[in-house]
Structure formats: C-alpha cells, structure tokens
Amino acid sequence: MSNPRMQGPQMGRGPMGKGPAGKGDMPKARKGTLPRIIKLLMEDYKWPFLLAMLFMAIYSIGNISPSIFIEKISSIILRFVEAKDWDAAKAELVPVMIVMVTILVSTIVLNYFYARLMAIITQGFLDKMRKRMFNAMQALPIKYFDAHGHGDIMSHYTNDIDTLRQLVSQSLPRIFQSGIMLVGMLGIMLWFSMNLMAVVLVGVFGMTFAVKHIGGKSASNFIRQQKSIGKLEGYVEEIMNGQKVVKVFCHEEASQADFDKVNAQLCEDATKATRFANILGPVMNNIGNMLYVIIAVAGAAFITLRTPNASLNGLFSGSFGSVLELSVVISFLGIAKQFTGQVNGIAQQFNSIVMALAGADRIFQLMDEAPEADEGYVTLVNAEEQPDGSLREADHRTGVWAWRHPHKADGTVTFERLRGDVRLFDVDFSYVEGKKVLEDVTLWAKPGQKIAFVGATGAGKTTITNLINRFYDLEDGKIRYDGINITKIKKPDLRRSLGVVLQDVNLFTGTVMDNIRYGKLDATDEECVKAAKLANAHDFITRLPQGYDTMLTANGANLSQGQRQLISIARAAVADPPVMILDEATSSIDTRTEALVQKGMDALMKDRTVFVIAHRLSTVRNSDAIMVLDHGRIIERGSHTDLIAQKGTYYKLYTGAFELE
C-alpha cells in the first residue's frame, strides 16, 4: 500500500510580510564551505578532476613559455642585425620557432581535452549535488516546509546551483591556472631582472589594495543579491499559484506594489554589487597599464644609465650580473603585461567565488537540516494465517497485513494483525510553544468505525489527523494503533497503512492513470479502473479526449475542481488502506457531484476505520461517533441522534442556530 498523503508541492509561501535583506541578516558562508565543496568534488570525480588540473597545469606552463622564446628570438635578431648575417640568424631562429610552435599547438590540444573533461565533471557534479539536495529535502519533516518559503527552496535548485557551476567550471580552474602562471612568471622575471621585478611588486601591492577595498564591498553586495533573488522567486511563485485569488479580489495593484518592493531591493543589491565589480575591472586594468609604462621607462633607464664603472653597472644588470639588454626589456614587458592580466583575472573571480560560497552555504544548510526523526522499529509486513490462527511473515503479497513487532527485552518477535484500531489518550499538542492547539484529547476508533470531527476552523480537527500520520510528534499523551504506540512504528510503514484525501488536491504531470496509480505504484490498470469506478470517477474519465491516457499538466488545470477531487479519491481507493482520513474531501464538490461521490465513499469506507473532517454536517450523519471540537478540546461526543437529543453545540450547528465559522 502506498501513501496518498504525499501529493506533491503545495502553494509556495513567498516573502510577504518579510522585509528586505539588510546588513543584519546578510548571509555569510560558514568556515569550511570551500573545503567541503572540494571534498565532494573529489569524492565524485577525483581522477578526472586531477587529470583536468594536470592538463591545465601543462597548458599554463605552455602559455608562459613564449616569454622565454621572445627574449631568445629578440636577442638573436638584435645580434645579427648588427652583424647583418641573416643566414646565421635564420639558422638559429628556425629551431627556436619550431619548438615554440610545437609547444603552443600542444597547449591548444590540451586545452581542447581539458574543456571537454571539465564540461563532463561540472555537469556531473551538479547532477549529483541536486540529487543530494533532493534526497535530503525528501527526508525533512513537514514543519520545515511550513516554515520556509517554497520559492526560496526552489532557488537552491536554480540560482544557488548555478553559482556552483560557475565555481567548478570557471573560478577554481582559473585560480589554479593563474596561480601556476604567476609562480612561473615570477621565476622568469626574477631570472631576467631583479630590478624590474621590484617595480612589478609595487604594482602588485596596488592591485592587492584595490581588490581588498573595492572587491570586498562588491562581494558583500553580491551575497545580499543572492538572498534577494530567493525572496523574489518566492514571491513570484506565490502570486502565480494564487493568481485567481488576486484577480477575484482585484488585488493586482497591491500585488504589484509588493512586487516592486521586493524587486527594488534586488535591484539595489545588484546595482551596488555590479557598481563595485565594474569599478574594480578598470582600476585593475589601469594599474596594469601604468605598471607597463613604468617598466618600459625603468628598463630604458637601466639600459641608458650604464657607466664605464663596472661596479655601478651591477645596479642596472640582470639577475646574474649581466648588463640589462634590450631583448630582456622587450620580453619583460610582455610577461609583466601577462602577469598583471592574471592578477586581474583572479580579482574578477573573487566575486564569483564569494557568490558561489554563499550559494553553496545555502545548499549545505538545507542538506544539513535535521531529517525527520524516526525511532520506530515496528514494521508492516505481508502475513499469512496459520492453522492455529497465528500469523507469520510472508515473502509475497497475501492480502493480509500485520505489524512485525520485535521485543527488545527478550528478543522475541510477535505479529499483530493490521485492523485499524486507533486510540488517543490525553493528547496535548502545540505548533508554537505555549500556544496549545490540542488539550487533553482522548478518543478511540474501533476497526470499521467512522469518526467525524466537527468544529470551527482552528479548532484542531486537521491537527489530530496530522498527529495520527506523525507529521508532527505529540507534546504529551499517547496514540496507539492496534495496541502499539505509534512512536514504535516506523513512519513509512505507519503512513502506508493510512489513506488520506485532502481538500487541496495535488495532481502531477502525467496521465490520469498515472495519478491514480500514485496511491499504489504497483497497481495494475484493472485495479486503477476499479478504484475510479468506486470513486464514481470512471464515467467522466472515459469522456476525456484520451480517457485514462489523458495527460494532466499544471496540477490538472484542464479538469474541474470536482473532477480533480474524484481522481484524488480514486488514488486513495487504489491503495486499499485499513484506515482512511478524509479532510474536507467533498467540500469542493457541488451538491450533485457530492451525491455521486458519497455513494462511492460509502463503499470505500466499508469495513475501514475512517476519520472524517467536514463542514457539511449532512456528510457525517451516519458516523458512529461525532466529536465536536472547540479551541483544541472535545466539548461533545456521540452519534448524530445522541447529539441532536442533547441540544448542545452540535444541535445548534445542525439546525443553523449559529455557523461553524
């Protein structure tokens, strides 16, 4: 049996009523976020990633090699220009050119394989991260989704994941590449001239200062932008889901005003982030350009300021004491330009890394949320009855279900037939500490009984069914299912034994048959059709364009509300559970349709324990017991006849003396 309670996403809860992100609530990446990303990357693609980095390392070394060759080529040309010996120059230049071209072509080939490999690694890593996140989300308790906007959760799968793509595919490899190239170029520049190298270090200091002060401001605003995007997506999803309500109440202008506030905050954060990011690029480029000019002037000075004094010439020499040559200055200018370009490239990746760490931190926060606790050890199994009336576990479907109950005290295992006996003892519950929703609730439902809950909105009717499902845990008291404390029953097994039909129907993209089969994934087509007939849905389904193969999209928008509810009832019927929970199941169905459904519902409820929540009191008249709730307490209980005779609250509700609301 399957759990019809899991009926897809509910309406998203956006950021209405929440202020824009400010300095006080700005998200910051926790320490260890980047190492955790790298650790997961290594777990998934260790050897491919290391191979890609090897390709990148060789490619980076190949990229800085032309500077050495340029110095060599310039030296050869200058030497033979003075001697006017072109044949000798050609003889020396050709081998150097061949080596240089070979290295450059090799780097192009390596870059091609690197790009293909990184594309596979990046998309594969994101695929695994989405799976990790989705699996973690599936294990979260219902209260998490009550407390977090659905649009904001969705932004984890879109914006936050996209920042990881940028980090893995571009930022990390770019920094690795730049790091190798910077180290290599530092070595070459030191080889060429320590004096010119000192000039470069002054420029690097200026660049570092710019990155720290301008890039830092940009990064903080990029983090705020990330959070504002989540708020905006949450609000848009909320309005999309509630578009009919918006139009019915002519709330378009107010919705637009609320959207403008959220959008304005995003615009402000994005503008500030982009402003500083756009300033940083030109500042870094201009520092690089000024450094280029200074190196050219300094190099020229070092060449022209030679003196006959050999000791003074050491001040203007190369690293190993040789007098600075024009070819060295030419080559140094090229490598210095390349050096500042790499520093600028790292600075440009700074914001992407900060955004990625903020996005990854949001992802890890979801993944690190405590999963729904389940300390149960009693399981639901197929069973077969022995000649002496006892039960034993079966390895095939028998139509008989039993609770497999291991007893820790003596190590024995007993089997209790699944009958649907549900009892609540002195139950207290609060969603928020100090505000009780249920207080001292005691009731019982024997197998096959129909128990109805009546009361105003907020009286605690749905809360009782949520506790039976263990979507929430009790604050005090006990609930026993077939004599077993439900805290001992594994939650998936408990929920498989319960069928739920909700007022808010969620249908998934797929055929009508697929949506009915959602109640029992291994159900045959015949079982699904039988369930549809039981719910009186078969007639309208056969009149659809493709019958049971008709595709449903957008939560069944091509069906009426009543038709959607009938499919939901059929979905519960195909699961064939011993206990049914009907939460306002017929409230959205018109009176004529309700009469058809009620007949099917009566057949569905036969020989089952049923909990019914209803505003239409006509639907609960035949209940074995009716519980009247008020502010979390049961104030009246009894059959319809008994409660009418008492002439209390139920009598007044039934006769219209006052309304439920």
In this structure, the answer to whether residues 387 and 410 fall within a common structural domain is yes
In this structure, the answer to whether residues 210 and 348 fall within a common structural domain is yes
From residue 350, alpha-carbon distances to 171, 276, 327, 356, 631 in Å are 8, 12, 35, 10, 55
Establish if 21 belongs to a structural domain.
Answer: no
State residue 4's pLDDT score: 35
Token pair belonging to 87: 């044949």
Domain that holds residue 111: 33-368
In this structure, the answer to whether residues 531 and 410 fall within a common structural domain is no
State residue 657's pLDDT score: 52
In this structure, the answer to whether residues 329 and 408 fall within a common structural domain is no
Phi-psi region of 433 (alpha: psi -120 to 50; beta: other; left: phi over 0): beta
Token pair belonging to 126: 């994101």
Establish if 19 belongs to a structural domain.
Answer: no
State residue 20's pLDDT score: 35
* Cβ count near 55 (within 10 Å): 21
Question: What are the start-end ranges of the H helices in 139-193?
Answer: 142-147, 150-155, 161-166, 172-192
In this structure, the answer to whether residues 139 and 269 fall within a common structural domain is yes
In this structure, the answer to whether residues 329 and 403 fall within a common structural domain is no
Establish if 37 belongs to a structural domain.
Answer: yes
State residue 309's pLDDT score: 43
In this structure, the answer to whether residues 383 and 235 fall within a common structural domain is no
State residue 314's pLDDT score: 44
State residue 14's pLDDT score: 37
Establish if 509 belongs to a structural domain.
Answer: yes
In this structure, the answer to whether residues 210 and 313 fall within a common structural domain is yes
In this structure, the answer to whether residues 413 and 485 fall within a common structural domain is no
pTM attached to this predicted model: 0.70
In this structure, the answer to whether residues 359 and 404 fall within a common structural domain is no
Please tell me the distance from the alpha carbon of residue 562 to that of residue 568, in angstroms, as a whole number.
10
Of 286, 291, 289, 285, the C-alpha closest to 199 is 291
Please tell me the distance from the alpha carbon of residue 380 to that of residue 374, in angstroms, as a whole number.
15
Q: Which residues of the chain have pLDDT under 50?
A: 1-27, 307-323, 660-661
422 contact partners, CB below 8 Å, separation of at least 6: 444, 445, 468, 479, 480, 481, 579, 609, 611
Q: For the chain, percent helix, then strand, then coil, each to nearest 5? A: 60, 15, 25
What CATH code is carried by the domain that includes residue 140? 1.20.1560.10
Which amino acid makes up residue 359?
A: G
Establish if 181 belongs to a structural domain.
Answer: yes
State residue 522's pLDDT score: 86
State residue 588's pLDDT score: 61
In this structure, the answer to whether residues 293 and 427 fall within a common structural domain is no
In this structure, the answer to whether residues 562 and 520 fall within a common structural domain is yes
| Phi, then psi, of 142 in degrees rounded to 5 | -60, -35
The burial of 359, by beta-carbon neighbours within 10 Å (0-12 exposed, 13-18 middle, 19 or more buried), is given as: buried
State residue 317's pLDDT score: 45
Please tell me the distance from the alpha carbon of residue 314 to that of residue 333, in angstroms, as a whole number.
21
Dihedral Cα 149, 155, 160, 163, nearest 10 deg: -150
Dihedral Cα 414, 419, 420, 424, nearest 10 deg: -50
Judged by DSSP in three states, 477 sits in strand
From residue 226, alpha-carbon distances to 230, 351, 400 in Å are 7, 12, 53
State residue 214's pLDDT score: 65
What CATH code is carried by the domain that includes residue 606? 3.40.50.300
Establish if 660 belongs to a structural domain.
Answer: no
Consecutive H or E run containing 556: none
Which amino acid makes up residue 501?
A: V
Do 342 and 178 meet the contact criterion of CB atoms below 8 Å apart? yes
pLDDT digits (tens, 9 = 90+) for 300-351: 777 766 544 444 444 444 443 344 566 677 777 777 777 877 777 777 777 6
Establish if 2 belongs to a structural domain.
Answer: no
HSE-CB at 66 with a 13 A cutoff on CA atoms is 15
> Considering its fold, how many domains does the chain have in total?
3
